[in-house]
């Protein structure tokens, strides 16, 4: 079944979606956009970000009415979004992941919040898990640059009790479903290529929008179900490298703001203090054009691949060194173990011999004890016999002894 859009002449919102290698999820995402109700006029900008052949085939065969931006290589999340923004015509840019399904009222609620918020820089959506629980109602940035998805795992009722279903300022909201006014995005020069291929670029953008004096809020009535990580599932090593590379840069750039970061369990209105500073809005960059992004796509992809290769090689060498160190430690331990077993075996043999000697001695003592016990019993028996005879019996017994001696003498 094909998915068709009727783009307006003057769109209010441009929904930018990156397509890489998911197909079923992409179509489900696009179909959910066709069911939007009371939405402002919108266009769909679909960026083929070095997309697989299967993705290209399904887009060519089943998607109608979307603006297609074809990049010959994957330029990362931020680069792909910048390409889509460069081709967009709307007053507001709405970045949407291809592994999401939006509620029918989502875009209306998101746009209404943007219009109602004074000096708005970004409006984040409420992200839900497929189970219906909260994935994120805005996020918090900690001093370590780690992030906390507010409300994660809560039911909607539980989230409401904690004040998480009200429009409010946040440190940032995930770019999986994020609105940014086009002028604000252009003034900030879009997503910073320093974070290629992914991670932290959306946090950085929203901190820079705050540096411009703009507000970043979450609108919980704009709801999106998000199958988190579907696009990069199975690439865990690549994801680890991407995050470690990006978070280190983010930590250095925003050290002052991170020093003011709230604790993990602070009230929901506790935020990082991002100072207004025009110099930190774009850091001297300008938003790249679509041609610039397309022409440099291969170079960007090779640069990302080279960075990943260097990291993997470094980690391999480190792990190889650790393996050699542990192997040597194991060999030394085995040698010590063999020596100790030999020594213990000698001690044990000596003890076994001594135990055998002691056992023989115990047997002899037990035999002697039995003999003494028998003699003792015989003596007691004789004494008891004498006691039973009385004085007359003793005299007769003694006389008998005398008679026996005399008889013996005569014989």
Question: Hey, what CATH topology would domain 3-235+248-295 get?
Answer: Spore Coat Polysaccharide Biosynthesis Protein SpsA; Chain A (3.90.550)
Q: Give the C-alpha distances (Å, rounded to integers) separating 262 from 174, 248, 268, 331, 364.
A: 19, 19, 10, 49, 82
Give the start-to-end residue ranges of the domains of the chain: 3-235+248-295
Rounded Cα–Cα distance for residues 240 and 197 (Å): 12
Burial (CB count within 10 angstroms: exposed 0-12, middle 13-18, buried 19+), residue 217? buried
Separation between Cα atoms, residue 88 and residue 92, nearest integer Å: 9
pLDDT tens for the chain, 411 residues long, are: 699 999 999 999 999 999 999 999 999 999 999 999 999 999 999 999 999 999 999 999 999 999 999 999 999 999 999 999 999 999 999 999 999 999 999 999 999 999 999 999 999 999 999 999 999 999 999 999 999 999 999 999 999 999 999 999 999 999 999 999 999 999 999 999 999 988 999 999 999 999 999 999 999 999 999 997 655 555 678 678 888 889 999 999 999 999 999 999 999 999 999 999 999 999 999 999 999 999 998 887 787 667 667 766 765 556 656 666 776 676 786 778 777 878 777 776 777 677 677 767 767 777 776 776 776 666 566 656 655 555 655 556 566 666 567 666 655
**The tokens 């179509």 sit on which residue?**
27
Q: Which two tokens stand for residue 166?
A: 């009200």
* pTM across the whole model: 0.76
Element (H, E) at 400: helix 297-410
CA dihedral in degrees (332, 338, 343, 347; nearest 10)? 140
On the CB side of 69, CA atoms within 13 Å amount to 31
Residue with tokens 């460069």: 86
State how far the Cα of 246 lies from the Cα of 180, in Å rounded to an integer: 22
3 near 17, Cβ under 8 Å?
no
Q: Is 331 left (phi over 0), alpha (psi -120 to 50) or beta?
A: alpha
Q: How far is CA 124 from the centre of its chain?
A: 23
Burial pattern 43-77, b for ≥16 Cβ within 10 A else e, equals bbbbbbbbbeeebeebbeebbeebbebebebbbbb
Measured distance CA(107)–CA(37) in Å, rounded: 8
């Amino acid at each position: 079944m094909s998915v068709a859009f009727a783009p307006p002449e003057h769109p209010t919102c441009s929904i930018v979606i990156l397509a890489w290698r998911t197909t079923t999820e992409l179509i489900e995402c696009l179909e959910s956009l066709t069911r939007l109700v009371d939405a402002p006029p919108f266009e769909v900008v679909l960026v083929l970000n070095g997309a697989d052949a299967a993705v290209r085939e399904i887009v060519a065969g089943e998607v109608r009415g979307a603006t297609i931006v074809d990049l010959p290589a994957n330029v990362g999340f931020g680069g792909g979004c910048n390409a889509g923004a460069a081709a967009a015509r709307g007053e507001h840019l709405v970045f949407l992941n291809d592994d999401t399904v939006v509620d029918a009222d989502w875009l209306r609620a998101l746009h209404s919040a943007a219009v109602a918020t004074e000096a708005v820089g970004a409006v984040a959506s409420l992200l839900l898990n497929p189970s219906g629980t909260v994935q994120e109602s805005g996020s918090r940035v900690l001093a370590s640059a780690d992030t906390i998805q507010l409300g994660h795992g809560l039911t909607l009722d539980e989230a409401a009790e904690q004040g998480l279903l009200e429009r409010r300022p946040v440190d940032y909201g995930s770019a999986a479903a994020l609105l940014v006014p086009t002028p604000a995005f252009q003034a900030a020069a879009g997503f910073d290529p320093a974070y290629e291929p992914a991670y932290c670029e959306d946090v950085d953008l929203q901190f820079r929008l705050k540096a411009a004096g703009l507000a970043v809020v979450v609108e919980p009535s704009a709801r999106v179900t998000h199958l988190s990580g579907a696009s990069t599932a199975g690439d865990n090593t690549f994801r680890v490298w991407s995050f470690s590379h990006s978070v280190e840069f983010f930590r250095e750039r925003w050290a002052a703001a991170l020093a003011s970061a709230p604790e993990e369990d602070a009230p929901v209105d506790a935020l990082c203090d991002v100072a207004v500073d025009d110099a930190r809005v774009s850091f001297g960059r300008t938003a790249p054009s679509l041609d610039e992004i397309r022409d440099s796509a291969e170079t960007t992809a090779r640069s990302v691949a080279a960075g990943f290769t260097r990291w993997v090689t470094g980690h391999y060498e480190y792990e190889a060194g650790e393996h050699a160190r542990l192997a040597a430690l194991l060999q030394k331990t085995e040698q010590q173990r063999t020596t100790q077993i030999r020594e213990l075996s000698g001690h044990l043999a000596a003890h076994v011999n001594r135990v055998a000697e002691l056992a023989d001695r115990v047997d002899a003592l037990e035999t002697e004890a039995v003999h003494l016990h028998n003699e003792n019993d015989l003596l007691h028996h004789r004494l008891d016999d004498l006691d039973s005879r009385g004085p007359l019996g003793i005299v007769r017994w003694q006389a008998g002894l005398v008679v026996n001696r005399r008889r013996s003498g005569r014989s």
